[in-house]
Structure 1
């Protein structure tokens, strides 16, 4: 059943012509498998985001409170980099913060599931989770790792190709002067030109652009302007 489902996921990724078609087909497929919802999570230092049909309130709370840093499913995905099933561990093994996290997730009907992580470009990670309200999960057969990873890799490629709109994402903030200097840089202005236009010193422009680059975890000014544009910060 699960192997067939992974093939179906591959077919969905191949056939969906629009973002709306892809999300609708994913929802239907998850329900056919006997699960309640799905979450595709793309984890990067700054641009972490989700494409999911989890409750909107839970999705935004997850990012606003940096839950990915305590989510044991994410930690297991990073460590194992293979498909696995999960359910809350014994409370005695968990910190109070993690117990509270699982309790909140449970309130939104997320109690067990299957997660398939994959490595993506430039050392990042994406993962697909199908989740259930059931407190435990058992499968008839072990997960076919190759089929799982192949299906999620195709889904990742389709979402990237369609530039799918995140349903929730980590919030990144630039100061007004950082955004201003980055905007001029995106318009092709040099630091000396920006200084002349805005009446700043060259050192001040360099200071703001360098801090903006660090905030965006970018390796260069060009990457910082690209990221800021993509995140609609400028």
Structure 2
């Protein structure tokens, strides 16, 4: 595992785009004998997660507010920096809510895993988890905690930006006309041509682009268009 973590560090140290970073993490999972990865930055109400878990499980997790009772998250906050977990182990606790949590996770072939927890400041945590459908995760060669922590830091450097973009996009509301004008502008159309295509005046186009640029915190309309595309707003 240590060799795999070192390779992951080397890979994520490159200037990768989001898709390439996700591919690297999927490859790391497979090489380590797991099916899924999940990165969670625990920051109170601003906590976020990025993973390749089945979308149905991600939606159910959010709907049932499982972050509140997830035993993996709880142990990451208060337990050792590196630990294994399983549904079989959790059943010994006898808590009905946790048993339900693992029963529903098992429907998506998530039964056991390995987690690495790295403190950030006084309260925050970066948690990287590998999971699969096995009943238990065999404990192999000892994982070096320093190597593991560095790897999680590099995971954060690649996936943290994705989650920040999602959070930022949720806070920005472009009007339909602002989005339309910005989309045409992003396609290379001039403002007079946008006005003619949309059927409004040139000044109105300028006003919509200026307002969209302000909302996106951009320096100009070109930067606003680039940011809007990255955030999936147009």
| TM-score range for the pair, normalised by the shorter chain length | 0.5 to 0.7
Give the secondary-structure state (helix, strand or coil) at the position aligned to 1:98.
helix
- In structure 2, the partner of 1:53 is 52
Q: TM-score, normalised by structure 1?
A: 0.66
- More contact order relative to length (CA 8 Å, sep ≥ 6): 1
Aligned pairs for 1:64-103 (under 5 A) are: 64-88=63-87, 89=89, 91-103=91-103
Structure 1 consecutive aligned stretches of length 4 or more whose deviation exceeds 4 Å: 165-169
Please state whether the residue corresponding to 1:114 is helix, strand or coil. strand
1:56–1:167 CA contact under 8 A, matched in 2: no
Is the radius of gyration larger for structure 1 or structure 2? Answer: 2
Pick one of 159, 162, 166 that aligns with 1:164.
162
Shift of the 17–121 alpha-carbon distance from structure 1 to 2, 3 Å rule, reads farther
* Contact 2:128/2:152 (<8 A) preserved: yes
Provide closer, same or farther for how the CA distance between residues 7 and 123 of structure 1 changes in structure 2, counting only shifts above 3 A.
same
Q: Where does the alignment leave 5 or more consecutive residues of structure 2 unmatched? A: 172-230
**How many residues are matched?**
170
> How far has the Cα of 1:58 moved from its partner?
0.7
Residues of 1 paired with 2:140 and 2:132: CA distance?
Answer: 16
Q: Trace 1:194-209 onto structure 2 (pairs within 5 A).
A: none
- Aligned-CA RMSD value: 2.6
Instruction: Give SS of 2:84's match.
Output: strand
Unaligned runs of 5+ in 1: 174-230
Measure, in 2, the Cα distance between the counterparts of 1:167 and 1:37: 22
8 Å CA contact 2:48, 2:163 repeated in 1: no
